[in-house]
Structure 1
Amino acid sequence: MPRNIRGLTLGLTLLTSALPAIAFAQGLPPLEQKDSYRVGFAQTESNNPWRIAETQSMRDVADECGWELVYTDAAGSAAKQVADVNSMIAQGVDAIFLAPREETPLIPAVMNAKEAGIPVFLIDRNVNQSVAQAGEDYVTFIGSDFIDQGRRAAEWLVAETGGEATIIELEGTTGSSPANDRKKGFDDVIAEHPGMEIVASQSGDFSRDQGREVMATLLQAHPDVTAVYAHNDEMAIGAIAALEAAGRTPGEDVTIVSIDGTRDALQAIIDGKLGATVQSSPFFGPISCETMQRYAAGEEIEPWVKIEDMFFDASNAAEHIDEAY
């Protein structure tokens, strides 16, 4: 991911006087154009490579974007994340970037910021859009198409197994938008193929250790499993460890597909243990800076700033591993 984002900000020279009318027409707080901002970033947790890479991307862009970054880590607690956002509001930050741990519990924090006149940008995860909506309650969602990620994983698995598989699904954090959507995208495709059966589906909370533990338990109940779909690479790596401990051979008698595109996952593909992974980029710094600058310049921001993700399998994992995190 390039560090220099100056090229992304060319042309953002609309008159500041146009901003309040545009922002309030959207029902959103305005953001003044200025050289520097105090920006809050409310991270959900830092217990895996994806989150660490995302945080580093936000920190890397801060100086170039003119941000004094106010960073918090919710340590996996939705309640703490709400408190973190409320603390940012009390500190009077100019804008908040929020990676909501779960779809519904973070809505009060979004509403509190709006009431305080602070624009919120959601990154990597969304909130329940039947309660809070982009363009009205927060500026936009910047992130991937999680349903499409699940769909792409399923389509690859169907092709790889010839439409015949007994599947264990390792779900992400219960109530989070990527877990909900990655499950829907995958399950909808699998339902179209009678030879593909999901025999168990359980949360591993996007954690390597929990993925290993859940896989070990489910494997005892379903020793005939021939495929695993993990909602992220960390759980897939955990599942590989559990399968090997049980005497199975990942990549030979069990086909595994996951999502994220981490370095460990690409190495597992190279080693023949993981079949494929759908990229879900954590490098949100540059696009977050660009989007905030567009908003401050008076542009009406689209409700979803969509990230385009790659797909990694044996054909290209080695080519891209040096770029991975």
Structure 2
Amino acid sequence: MQLNRKKIAFLALSGLSLVFSGSLSAEDKGLISIIVNDMSNPYWKTEGGIAESTAEELGYSVSLSSHVGDTNTESNQIDTAITNNAKAIILDPANADGSVGAVQKAVEADIPVFIINSEINEKGLAKAQLVSNNAQGAALGAQEWAEQLGGEGRYIELQGPPSDNNAATRSNGYETVLSQYPDIRREASDVANWDRTEGRNKMQSMLRDNSDINGVISGNDEMALGAISALKQEDMLDDVIVGGFDGSPDAVDAVRSGEVAYTVLQPVAIFAEDAVDIADQYINTGETGLDSEKKLYDCILITADNVDDYTSPFVLEE
């Protein structure tokens, strides 16, 4: 009996054991190399886990690794995939510009590359780039956040790294919506590199000069959760509306508890699976089946009203 791919990933990510009478598939179709960012982050752990379980179910052996945002590590991982004659590489790139050279190496070695989550700034190298519709998701989140603020207030923004196109797209999306609210004013912003600890530390620093804020908008959930920690320490959380982005399990729990106003769910469970399916099709037919290189996946807003529909990592029931 075949288990649902997302269920396999969910069980694995929950620390539960899976026992099979054999491998997911008796067929050995070669190696797929899956390279993601930071497996200690639940978002990227889900991304890697679902891609891995999908590839194994389709009959491939898998190499799963993470570069933690370092382009040198990423380049070495690409070299390893080339040495091991990978049939395909599924890559969440470390850097929009800095990862182009590593992808080029794989292409020159006749290994197709399928980009997920974050884009590279070079068209025509990857066979596909599958990413969340970050502009759409940012607009959803910013509109919800502005309404919960009542259309007025002072806020702090936590941003992702400038090397990641997603960070700029989300920040610009927030600004586009919030510019329509003249009584909402940004008092400070800083880069916290998608990290919870950095989010807490940067938030603590900005609060020293901005103690009268009533809102925090964040480029991802980990930074938002770090901000919550800092706000709790200053006994300010009850008076500050915090918004996140990703749909991570911890952020969803914080929505349930009322500590986070909302999170924007990225459909990572969908595009991680799709990337492997598309890679498999390309390996077998030489075609991706896509109309263009880039495919966008719309995000979903999670609030107190629909949080109970969230059933597993990065999955919202329709």
Determine if the TM-score, normalized by the shorter chain, exceeds 0.5. yes
Aligned mates of 1:254, 1:59 — CA distance in 2: 39
Can you give the 5+ residue segments of structure 1 that lack an aligned partner in the other structure? 6-33
- Look up the SS of the partner of 2:55 in the other structure: helix
Residue 48 of structure 2 is matched in structure 1 by: 55
Supply the distance in 2 between the matched residues of 1:4 and 1:98 (Cα, whole angstroms).
Answer: 19
Map Cα deviations across residues 154-209 of structure 1 (whole Å, 9 max, x no partner): 11112222221211111112311221211111112112321121221111111111
d(CA) in 1 for partners of 2:215 and 2:53? 38
Preserved contact between residue 116 and residue 272 of structure 2 (Cα < 8 Å): no
Match of 2:264 among 244, 253, 278: 278
Aligned-residue RMSD, C-alpha:
2.0
Tell me whether 1:156 sits opposite 2:144 in the alignment. yes
Partner of 1:116: 109
Unaligned regions of 5+ residues in structure 2, if any?
Answer: 8-26
Q: Distance in 2 between matches of 1:4 and 1:197?
A: 41
Separation (CA, whole Å) in 1 of partners of 2:141 and 2:128: 26
What's the secondary structure of 1:92's corresponding residue? Answer: coil
Alignment of 1:76 with 2:73, yes or no, is no
User: Quick check: 2:46–2:313 contact (8 Å CA) kept in 1?
Assistant: no
Cα deviation for residue 308 of structure 1 reads: 3.0
Q: Which residue of 2 aligns with 1:14?
A: none
- Cα shift at 1:309: 2.4
Is the contact made by 2:219 and 2:244 (CA closer than 8 Å) also made in structure 1? Answer: yes
Indicate whether 1:99 and 2:101 are aligned.
no
CA contact (8 A) 2:68 2:94 kept: no
Among all aligned residue pairs of Structure 1 and Structure 2, give the percentage whose two residues are the same amino acid: 26
Shift of 1:35: 6.6
Shift of 1:324: 3.1
- Structure number with the bigger relative contact order (C-alpha 8 A, sep ≥ 6) is 1
Cα deviations by residue, 1:25-54 (Å, 9 ceiling, x for unpaired): xxxxxxxxx971311111222221111111
Q: Counterparts of 1:59-208 in structure 2 under 5 Å?
A: 59-128=52-121, 132-133=122-123, 136-208=124-196
Instruction: Please give the per-residue CA displacement for 1:47-81, whole angstroms capped at 9, x wherever unaligned.
Output: 21111111111221122112111222213312211
Residue 12 of structure 1 is matched in structure 2 by none
- Read off the aligned partner of 2:282 and give its amino acid letter: Y
Which structure 1 residue ranges, 4+ long, deviate > 6 Å from structure 2?
none
Cα distance in 1, alignment partners of residues 306 and 157 from structure 2: 25
1:128-178 CA-to-partner distances (Å, cap 9, x unmatched) read: 1xxx10xx2111111201122211111111222222121111111231122
- Give the match's secondary structure for 2:193: coil
- 1:319 corresponds to: 309
* Number of residue pairs the alignment of both structures matches: 289
